[in-house]
Amino acid sequence: MTNKLILKFLTAFGAVLLVAAAPHESAAQGIPSARAADSMAEFCRKGQAEYPGGVARMHPSFKFNICWWLEDAGIDASTFDDVAGTLPEHAGPSQAAWQATFSKPAQLHLERARVAEERGDSTTASAEYKKAAFYLRMNRLPKRVPTADLQATERAYAVQGKPLQRITFKTGEKEFIGYSRAPSVRRGSNEKLPVLVILGGLDNLKTEMIRHSDYFMSRGFATLIVENPDTGENQLGFRPESSAMLDTVADYIKTRSDLDASRVAVYGWSMGGYLGTLGGLKNDFYKAIVNIGGPSDSSFGQAHCKTAPAWIVAPYTVFANMNPQTTPRQAMCEYYEAFQLSHQLKMPTAVQLHKPILMVNGAREDLISRDEPASLAALGFNVTQLVFGDDGHTAESNMREHFEFTANWLMRRLKLEN
């Protein structure tokens, strides 16, 4: 691995499509200056670590995930630049001009998909539905169900005879819906499949985590993709106790005769890494935890919270049901202090301390506290950490490499044959 480091490190959070202009001393106070790429094509070619400010004319939170959204949709970054170039400066998803800009190509691709489907061309129809879903996704708002995006994505897989199986889970009075998927080819007809439960980042839809599911299915895992609380079709509120959703998922897995309930791990991307780590530690059913760029302890501490970039503090505030324009940052920091693992697991059990946790990130992380390694060591958890020295949050530019590392790590921890 040239120019890459295996170190002890950690990260934080997924993309929130939000622009917050806020008064002095609010939770969303100011946006620090940082170098921005002139185009999405340039940004995707060089990576987020090269341009911490993201892409010119777009809010910095858009820098996360969008390059692989484009890749998965089969849309060239320069094509996106042509569309986004018509946006008014500093526009955001809540504005009519933004919605209209991305609705136009979405409708065009939906129409092409329908025509292709009518003539029986499932390959073209699927590709067009995926393109439509990308542009529809650009128009979604935090804490809203993105019905159009979900429908287009699900249709893209259904027309190819590979439907995304929707599973409805219930925790207390709240429901959340996930996708159950399994490899099409198995090593033995009677063999039960190991399972990987996949969570996206804060405001990452389950449709965005399909590429993760695809890779791990290629390595023999059945996957269950679920969304974070307050995201997509998850009705739970975003707070630590919502990690109980993983108990509900565990109960479901136990009912499946084709799944190996003794070999189940949880994989959390960005903020999903936090909830996956907390829920995976609380329930002994899960045998291993993968945390890709998720906060754990010091990232929720006062010291980090007071200095974190405002553009990330604003979404945190929204998911705490606070107004980022009027909420004092200190109030938001005090709210999130209770999320720390040291608060949630005051007396870890021997099983919790022994459970293997893999944490992956880029050395040029710009969201979470860099004191996380010391925090985790102080708590006594069994952590393996992989860091890419030339990358940023969640090491997205090296995604394929850390997929492979993660799959191999999981196979060893779950005692699976490669």
Q: What is the pLDDT of residues 378-401, one digit of tens each?
A: 899 999 999 999 898 999 999 999
Which of 119, 154, 189 is the last residue in one of the domains?
A: 154
What single-letter amino acid sits at 413? R
- Per the structure block, which two tokens stand in for 238? 């975003």
pLDDT digits (tens, 9 = 90+) for 13-57: 233 333 333 333 566 554 445 789 999 999 999 988 899 888 987
Q: Contact, 290 vs 221, CB < 8 A?
A: no
Q: Are residues 128 and 247 in the same domain?
A: no
Q: Is residue 18 in a domain?
A: no
> Most confidently modeled of 49-63, 136-150, 281-295?
281-295
Domain count, the chain: 2
Q: Are residues 202 and 305 in the same domain?
A: yes
pTM for the complete prediction?
Answer: 0.90
Strand blocks (E) in 88-192: 165-171, 174-181
| Beta carbons within 8 Å of 154's beta carbon, 6+ residues apart | 163, 164, 166
Distance between CA atoms of 333 and 61, rounded to whole angstroms? Answer: 20
pLDDT digits (tens, 9 = 90+) for 160-209: 999 999 999 999 999 999 999 999 766 556 789 999 999 999 888 999 99
Q: Is residue 25 in a domain?
A: no
In this model, does residue 2 exceed pLDDT 50?
no
pLDDT digits (tens, 9 = 90+) for 225-266: 999 999 999 999 999 999 999 999 999 999 999 999 999 999
Evaluated on CA atoms 198, 297, 245, 195, the torsion sign reads positive
Q: Are residues 79 and 177 in the same domain?
A: no
Which of 119, 134, 154 is the last residue in one of the domains?
A: 154
How far apart, in Å, do the first and last CA atoms of the chain sit? 21
Q: What is the DSSP letter of 240?
A: G
Q: Is residue 22 in a domain?
A: no
Q: What is the CATH number of the domain that holds 89?
A: 1.20.1440
Q: What is the DSSP letter of 370?
A: T
According to the model, what pLDDT value does residue 23 have?
34
Q: Are residues 372 and 256 in the same domain?
A: yes
Tally helices (H) and strands (E) across the chain.
16, 8
Q: Are residues 146 and 172 in the same domain?
A: no
Confidence of residue 221 (pLDDT cuts 50, 70, 90): very high
Distance between CA atoms of 115 and 110, rounded to whole angstroms? Answer: 9
Q: Is residue 20 in a domain?
A: no
Q: Are residues 178 and 283 in the same domain?
A: yes
Which residues span the domain enclosing 237?
Answer: 162-413
